Amino acid sequence: MKRQLGLMAALLFAATVLSWTVFPQSPAEDPGIVRLRYATIVVPNYDEALRWYTDVLGLQKVEEGSFGAGLRWIVVAPRGQKEFGIVLELAQPISPDDRIRDYKNRVGKETRWVFEVKDCHRFYELLSKRGVKFPEVPVDQPWGVTEAHFEDLYGNIFVVESPRPTPSGAKP
């Protein structure tokens, strides 16, 4: 598993260096990506997937919650890993206006990476000006983040999220 995470990190690093070479940016235009936080795997059944990822693969459940009608937030990760997690996402829209379609055909064919950014709205503004397509503009989600979806030049969907600031005087 460590080897796979190392390979993923190496690929991400290589892609980042390549993008700097092909699309040079000045530091003032940095959209603020902090780290890769999650990769999402679309699954047909939460409990079945959770059993496989924990009992067979040996990962541990590190986050769980629920939101909406029958929707859950489940994250698994290698034991002791706090910087990166795998979200198990049920193959169904999360709301009636969900712009992502055809969830069932996505099972087994893709993962969706989630990047943490300093400010989701700023990221959206900067990359929109660069011509990046956003099927979902920044939205405040019930689990405490502001989130948007963007597409790469091939139509792959990525997620960016930033923590929402706590209201003045509120405890985090």
Do 157 and 135 meet the contact criterion of CB atoms below 8 Å apart? Answer: yes
Same fold, 34-111 and 117-164: no
* Averaged pLDDT, 137-164: 88
Tell me the pLDDT of the chain averaged across its residues.
Answer: 79
Rounded average pLDDT over 141-145:
88
CATH number of 117-164: 3.30.720.110
Is the per-residue pLDDT at 14 higher than 50?
Answer: no
Give the residue extent of every domain in the chain: 34-111, 117-164
**pLDDT of 15 strictly over 60:** no
What pLDDT sits at residue 63? 93
pLDDT the model gives residue 120: 95
Joined tokens for residue 60: 């541990």
According to the model, what pLDDT value does residue 147 have?
A: 95
Please state whether beta strands 157-163 and 145-151 pair in parallel, antiparallel, or not at all (unpaired).
Answer: antiparallel
- The CA distance from 14 to 141, in Å, is 31
Identity of the highest mean pLDDT range in 22-36, 93-107, 133-147: 133-147
Return the CATH fold of 34-111.
2,3-Dihydroxybiphenyl 1,2-Dioxygenase; domain 1 (3.10.180)
Handedness of CA 149, 1, 57, 78 (dihedral sign): negative
pTM more than 0.95: no
Confidence of residue 43 (pLDDT cuts 50, 70, 90): confident
